[in-house]
Amino acid sequence: MSYIPSSPLIYIFLSLTCQTVPGRDAQGFIVPQDPVLPAGRSLLVNCSTSCPHPELITLETSLPKEVIDEDQGWAAFRLSNVTGDSKIICSAFCNGSQMTSSSNITVYRFPELVELDLLPRWQPVGENLTLQCHVWGGAPRAQLTLVLLRGEEELSRQPAVGEPAEGTATVLAGRGDYGAKFTCRAELDLRPRGLGLFQNTSAPRQLRTFVLPMAAPRLVAPLSLEVGTSWPVDCTLDGLFPVSEAQVQLALGDQMLNPAVSIHGDTLRATATVIARADQEGQCPALAFLGPILNLSETNVTEGSKVNVSCTAGPRVQVMLDGDLARAPGEPAQLQVTATEGDDGRYFFCNAILEVDGEILHRNVTAQLRVLYGPKIDPAKCPQRLAWKDRTSHILQCEARGNPVPQLQCLHEGSRREVPIGTPFLVKLHHNGTYHCQAVSPRGTYTLLVVMHVQDRNSFVVTILIGVLVILGVVTAIVALMCIFGKQTRSGFYHVNQQDTSLPLRPVQPKEAVELEQS
Ligand SMILES: *[C@@H]1O[C@H](CO)[C@@H](O)[C@H](O)[C@H]1NC(C)=O
Ligand SMILES: *[C@@H]1O[C@H](CO)[C@@H](O)[C@H](O)[C@H]1NC(C)=O
Ligand SMILES: *[C@@H]1O[C@H](CO)[C@@H](O)[C@H](O)[C@H]1NC(C)=O
Ligand SMILES: *[C@@H]1O[C@H](CO)[C@@H](O)[C@H](O)[C@H]1NC(C)=O
Ligand SMILES: *[C@@H]1O[C@H](CO)[C@@H](O)[C@H](O)[C@H]1NC(C)=O
Ligand SMILES: *[C@@H]1O[C@H](CO)[C@@H](O)[C@H](O)[C@H]1NC(C)=O
Ligand SMILES: *[C@@H]1O[C@H](CO)[C@@H](O)[C@H](O)[C@H]1NC(C)=O
Ligand SMILES: *[C@@H]1O[C@H](CO)[C@@H](O)[C@H](O)[C@H]1NC(C)=O
Ligand SMILES: *[C@@H]1O[C@H](CO)[C@@H](O)[C@H](O)[C@H]1NC(C)=O
Ligand SMILES: *[C@@H]1O[C@H](CO)[C@@H](O)[C@H](O)[C@H]1NC(C)=O
Ligand SMILES: *[C@@H]1O[C@H](CO)[C@@H](O)[C@H](O)[C@H]1NC(C)=O
């Protein structure tokens, strides 16, 4: 409130009130009170007082501020670049005593990234699956909640804690989850502060679940075939889920058959006609198998973390993981690796082998591991001592490695000037010096020093040039003097020819040399 005395009467009245209770009744106000605003905005703050003659109205804040306007009893300030929560205080002096009023600024920002961690490539039905969600950024954290969803169904709801905030949910995988889409949602609820409910949702991840059959396939075929006659064989497999993903191979002895496959519920039926040969008497055709399923506990890891790799296929199927056989057919093959940078991009290879009466059926799958490492510069790939001549073309060789791929630049120690890497450039004298070659990735910075010594070619050339010009001058002078001397002896009298003598004595070498040195 401002009191601008407009008449002597009011002025007297005010003086009287102030005299009776000097400055005590006066109040300070701050507008806005406890504002909520998006990060990075500017804010107008009005400090006012009911004191009739306030002195020194100020705004105490750690934020950059400027006075916008002021008048009797108030002052308005603009706070710029409000990026975090803070407390601001208006202060004024009323008849010698200070009064203050404060306001808390709350800054809100949306999460930068909401991400649901990768799901297993295949999830067995009847086993628990843990979903994990990570949220980077987002403020105020007290108003931020992580929600995990299957389709539209809420699986869990947790407050955001830590950076990144992590939310988890456990679901018992069922057949119904085959193809289910999971998402993670960050909810910033500013409704209690007079604003809305803001939601940011992760990209969905789809799950595939499976069930392996408990029993071996049932085969309907004649026990013994009459050689040369054709017979139908019929192979059925129950309890395989999802049947649509199954691979069917049918063999009779070493003879691969091309079966017709039909699906009824969870039952898969493969039928084919065989013509029995003499050597196949008593042999049985079979079989279908699912997979193999190659599973990495994590596909995207940091250097040094342990990764479990497992490979499974159906009953009776022998799996081989990276060349190592599982203990027995039907058992999974497992291995654990400690991720090194050399494992970045490594493929794991699982080979499922089913032996049916001497016939071997193969099916292979691979899975790739990504390892985050670096940045690094291999000193062998980045020569650290270079000696080059001025005004010659060269290439600065340097390579950095890492995942993610680092940015590499070489900066001159003094001028911070960048020198091109891997492309030819004209070496100049100013390139002489020490360079900081820096590989930068989100995982850090690695620096290697490179000393480039540039030899001055100019001084050498100039010396020779001056030498040549001096010799030329001396020779010309001698020749000129000889001419004059010859003329003198012939004519018998001495005549100075200004032009003749001055011309050869006018070599311009100092000027030329200076020009060359400057260039
Ligand atoms: C600041 O507040 C005072 C008292 O409420 C008012 O008179 C004045 O106009 C305000 N100034 C601005 C710039 O809003
Ligand atoms: C200020 O306060 C002093 C006593 O603390 C009092 O004597 C004086 O009259 C007051 N002045 C005004 C303008 O209120
Ligand atoms: C705003 O503040 C941040 C850090 O508080 C700073 O990095 C940025 O340069 C500032 N921006 C402006 C426009 O002042
Ligand atoms: C401002 O925040 C502090 C805690 O940070 C709290 O104690 C105080 O009561 C708040 N003030 C107002 C005016 O909300
Ligand atoms: C799945 O987890 C729940 C608790 O979250 C537990 O009660 C249940 O036994 C687990 N089921 C399996 C098959 O591990
Ligand atoms: C988060 O949601 C808000 C609105 O709810 C939107 O303005 C913002 O762009 C979203 N942020 C991201 C990273 O998607
Ligand atoms: C794959 O690995 C994850 C994590 O170790 C595990 O939860 C999941 O059950 C595994 N899936 C299969 C098919 O082995
Ligand atoms: C692995 O992590 C990197 C960096 O964190 C990310 O860019 C990449 O998308 C991730 N890949 C997968 C498959 O999650
Ligand atoms: C890997 O397997 C071992 C035991 O086989 C287990 O203790 C460990 O927790 C597993 N690690 C991961 C990342 O799944
Ligand atoms: C699977 O891998 C094995 C071993 O490397 C190979 O002999 C076989 O031909 C492969 N089978 C298929 C279908 O790729
Ligand atoms: C080139 O730089 C080195 C130091 O890096 C310095 O000793 C040398 O004098 C410089 N040479 C010239 C011609 O500037």
Share of the chain above pLDDT 90, in %: 50
Pocket test for ligand 7, best of 310, 311, 319 (most atoms within 8 A of CB): 310
Whether 218-287 and 9-107 are alike in CATH topology: the answer is yes
Query: Does the pTM exceed 0.75?
Result: no
293-374 fold: Immunoglobulin-like (2.60.40)
Res. 383: pLDDT tops 90: yes
Reported confidence tier of residue 102, pLDDT bands at 50, 70, 90: very high
113-210 fold: Immunoglobulin-like (2.60.40)
In angstroms, the Cα distances linking 46 to 51, 79, 186, 335 are 15, 11, 35, 67
Instruction: Tell me if 20 CB under 6 Å of ligand 2.
Output: no
Q: Which two tokens stand for residue 265?
A: 């519920």
Q: Rounded to the nearest whole angstrom, what is the distance from the C-alpha of residue 371 to the centroid of ligand 8?
A: 9
CATH class of 378-455: mainly beta
Which helix (DSSP H) or strand (DSSP E) does residue 175 occupy?
none
Q: Rounded to the nearest whole angstrom, what is the distance from the C-alpha of residue 71 to the centroid of ligand 2?
A: 22
CA R_g for the chain: 44
Res. 273: pLDDT tops 90: no
Instruction: Name the least confident of 225-234, 240-249, 284-293.
Output: 284-293
| Residue whose C-alpha is closest to residue 249's, from 236, 262, 259, 241 | 259
Q: What is the pLDDT of residue 395?
A: 94
Where do the domains of the chain lie?
A: 9-107, 113-210, 218-287, 293-374, 378-455
- The answer to whether 213 and 276 have CB atoms below 8 angstroms apart is no
- The answer to whether 301 and 307 have CB atoms below 8 angstroms apart is yes
Give the number of other Cβ atoms within 10 Å of residue 417's Cβ: 13
| Residue whose C-alpha is closest to residue 376's, from 436, 439, 451 | 439
Q: What is the mean pLDDT of residues 24-29?
A: 76
9-107 fold: Immunoglobulin-like (2.60.40)
CATH number of the structural domain 218-287: 2.60.40.10
pLDDT tens digit string along 399-443?
A: 999 999 999 999 999 899 999 999 999 999 999 999 999 999 999
Reported confidence tier of residue 230, pLDDT bands at 50, 70, 90: confident
Place of tokens 């002025």: 11
Q: Whose CA is nearest to atom 12 of ligand 3?
A: 81
Distance between first and last Cα of the chain: 71
Q: What is the pLDDT of residue 147?
A: 96
Residue ranges lining ligand 7, Cβ < 6 Å: 120, 122-124, 127, 293, 295, 297, 308, 310
Place of tokens 């949306």: 110
Q: Whose CA is nearest to atom 14 of ligand 11?
A: 432
DSSP 129-155: EEEEEEEEEEE-GGGEEEEEEETTEEE
Quick one: angle between helices 509-518 and 458-491, nearest 10?
170
Reported confidence tier of residue 232, pLDDT bands at 50, 70, 90: confident
DSSP 446-462: EEEEEEEEEE-SHHHHH
- The answer to whether 141 and 189 have CB atoms below 8 angstroms apart is no
Q: Whose CA is nearest to atom 10 of ligand 8?
A: 300
Res. 98: pLDDT tops 50: yes
Atom number, ligand 4, closest to the C-alpha of residue 104: 1
Mean pLDDT of the chain: 81
SS3 category, 283: coil
| Residue whose C-alpha is closest to residue 262's, from 287, 289, 237 | 237
Place of tokens 């000027």: 511
Q: Whose CA is nearest to atom 4 of ligand 3?
A: 83
Instruction: Name the least confident of 102-111, 134-143, 363-372, 452-461.
Output: 452-461
Alpha carbons 2 and 283: distance in angstroms, whole number: 106
SS3 category, 83: coil
